[in-house]
Structure 1
Amino acid sequence: MSRKSEPARAGNGHRPQRKGGGRGDRVMVPPADFRSYYGRPVIKPPVWTHDVAAYLFTGGLAAGAALVAAGADLTGRPALRVTGRVTALAALGASGYLLVKDLGRPERFLNMLRVAKPTSPMSMGTWIFSAFSAAAGVAAAAEVAPWLPRDGAVGLAARALPAAGRVGGLAAAATAPALATYTAVLFSDTANPAWHAAYPRLPFVFAGSALASGGAAGMIGAPVREAGPARALAVAGAALELTATHGVEHRMGLLSEPYRIGKAGRLLRAARLLTAAGAAGALLGARSRVVSTLAGAALLAGSVATRFGVFEAGKTAAEDPKYTVVPQRERLAAREGA
């Protein structure tokens, strides 16, 4: 038997003493504390900057706003439709800037479109973002139709724009769930233990945050008489976000800890308060533009804090090696016990 396979021994060279003497009795030697090699992290910290965390928010906002706009178009709410389409376009512009800034050079984004790899969340995310951008761009362009001349070829195009805008808006809404959640799949597909362990819940966190932020934009930009669907979407998204985030913070054992401590913990606690306050305002402020605006602002701020909190939790988990090694040892012990 090799030395590695020998049973653990006490400091005097004998087997650890057991209380009692029966088989399976508790070993009296306490378990050793975990220490990594020179206290160094086991995995590398995320190379992404906070631009990626901001991209998480703007992408979710674009997706939520597109859903609001599509619903408003189908139910005859023009002011809410314009708000949703313009918000989606503005958020897309910010997302494109942040994405290219993170990649370093614009041609890198174009190079990613040369292939489509279904097993790569990054590759699929690039195609999802591109498809959504094209559809949302057509929908937003349709809003300029009323200001175009009605004569000649331009007038013909102006008359065709509303129908094209509806098709584009519905296509954007159909792509919105994938845009809102692919980043959660991307984070969960990494070796970062806090992100990887959250894979069953993180898509629901991001989806709820996207719905809440999209509804919030509608509450701020549309009159209260048209903002009813936006308020309902915001409340539903806030409930989904709060429920899923609670699971991430409390139901992953040791790997929930990075979401409750340090900067990530402060951000997620602030997100919880802001989101809950915004949802309450959405329910109570159905007839007040001021309350609706304040509630929408709280929901948007809560969505920002949620995305940055999740990002910071991953950084915390990468810096402390116990979040990598201890869960691995627990899984190994569970398999051996089975």
Structure 2
Amino acid sequence: MTVSDFDDYRPPEPPHSRKRDGKRRRGGSGQGRVEPSVVPDVAFTSYYGRSVVKPPPWGNPIAVYLFLGGVAGGSALLGLGGQMTGRLILRRNSRLAALAATGAGAAALVVDLGRPERFLNMLRTIKLTSPMSVGSWILAAFGTGAGVCAASEIDRMTGSRLPLGPLRRVLRGLEGPAGVEAAVFAAPLSVYTAVLLSDTANPTWNAAREDLPLVFVGSASLAAAGLAMITTPVKEAGPARTMALLGVAGELIATRVMERNMDPVVAETLHQDAPGRMLAWSERLAVIGGVGVLLGGRHRLTAALSGVALLGASVLTRFGILRAGLRSTEDPRYTIEPQKNRLAARRRAGIVHDSITTSD
């Protein structure tokens, strides 16, 4: 009998009854040997107790990265709005927020990767079919534009005291185009993480693949607008208030549509346990923040409190979506039942002669 490392995961075999002479006992009326069944009852379990879908090794650093990517992208758009409308404080605060969020998000990504060179290795080539590869280049391109804009703002805040010399004129000349460039990559930066999550076999994320990017767009709008309302005087925060209202409406609608389009079994993960509580509170905070913007967005304290609520809603959305997906890998039911439902739907539609279904 061979022994391997996998023997520890094998279910115990039932004991065999033998007579003293080593022969098996015959049962009942002499109808042949009666041996105990080694096939368990049908249930939603997995091979040797293992998960059907392997859970990704993603924790809080990735959830932080998801959130900060939305902050950075939305802030770059607000920065461009301030640049084009002459709102200098909004432009400055949004540009600094975009760079800070990009740097902190990159640090969270490196923490998850374990070593900084792993991120640099992803820039050695570009693979258009890989959301992670494309996302790395989006982050690098966005960070370049955001860095130029923020450097110019910091130099201006110090009274042009940075030791730039003749580079100051170059920096001022590149400032405007860099703001446009960062805004071009803002939306891809905000949503590529949704594509990255849904381009997996994870039951929850894959089931939400058509609508999750829209949810992340709304979440990014909430985060960037909320931060701008906290840091910017109300007289210049008009674009942030508009973005906040659009973000609230967009996230609430997109979330409802996403849940409706998902398999009802998988959608349960969005309402259960910790992920369900996070997403429920995200919705409440988004509504509270939106009402605050409508009724008191032009009052400094109300605007700041509404911004805090919107930031909290965005954080809970990203953490809730991530953890709902991780939880869906723990129960084989969320993988098996949707597959059976899809198979039944194809058969009802008359699709029975392909590689997925066969006629009865």
- For 2:44, the aligned partner's letter is R
How many aligned residue pairs are there? 306
Aligned: 1:35 with 2:44: yes
Number of the residue aligned with 1:100: 110
**Aligned-pair Cα RMSD in Å:** 1.9
Change (3 A) 1:94 1:150: closer
Residues 52 and 329, structure 2, Cα contact 8 Å, conserved in 1:
yes
> Normalising to structure 1: TM-score of the pair?
0.86
Residues 248 and 259, structure 1, Cα contact 8 Å, conserved in 2:
no
Number of the residue aligned with 1:238: 248
- For 1:43, the aligned partner's letter is V
Number of the residue aligned with 1:179: 189
Shift of 1:150: 8.5
Please state whether the residue corresponding to 2:329 is helix, strand or coil: helix
Shift of 1:244: 1.1
Number of the residue aligned with 2:25: none
Structure with greater proportional helix content: 1
Shift of 1:152: 11
Change (3 A) 1:150 1:61: closer
Shift of 1:158: 3.0
> Normalising to structure 2: TM-score of the pair?
0.81
Gaps of 5+ in 1: 1-31
Number of the residue aligned with 1:11: none
Pairing of 1:156-305 with structure 2 (within 5 A)? 156-252=166-262, 253-305=264-316
Change (3 A) 1:151 1:322: closer
Number of the residue aligned with 1:124: 134
Gaps of 5+ in 2: 1-40, 351-360
State how far apart, in whole Å, the 1-side matches of 2:104 and 2:163 are.
35
Change (3 A) 1:73 1:260: same
State how far apart, in whole Å, the 2-side matches of 1:153 and 1:274 are.
44
Number of the residue aligned with 2:327: 316
Change (3 A) 1:152 1:96: closer
Number of the residue aligned with 2:98: 88
Query: Which structure has the larger Rg?
Result: 2
Residues 222 and 243, structure 2, Cα contact 8 Å, conserved in 1:
yes
Aligned: 1:61 with 2:98: no
Shift of 1:40: 4.2
Change (3 A) 1:314 1:242: same
Give a deviation string over 1:161-214, Cα, whole Å, max 9, x none.
333222111110110000000000000001101100101110001111111111
Please state whether the residue corresponding to 2:71 is helix, strand or coil: helix
State how far apart, in whole Å, the 1-side matches of 2:77 and 2:246 are.
13
Number of the residue aligned with 2:11: none
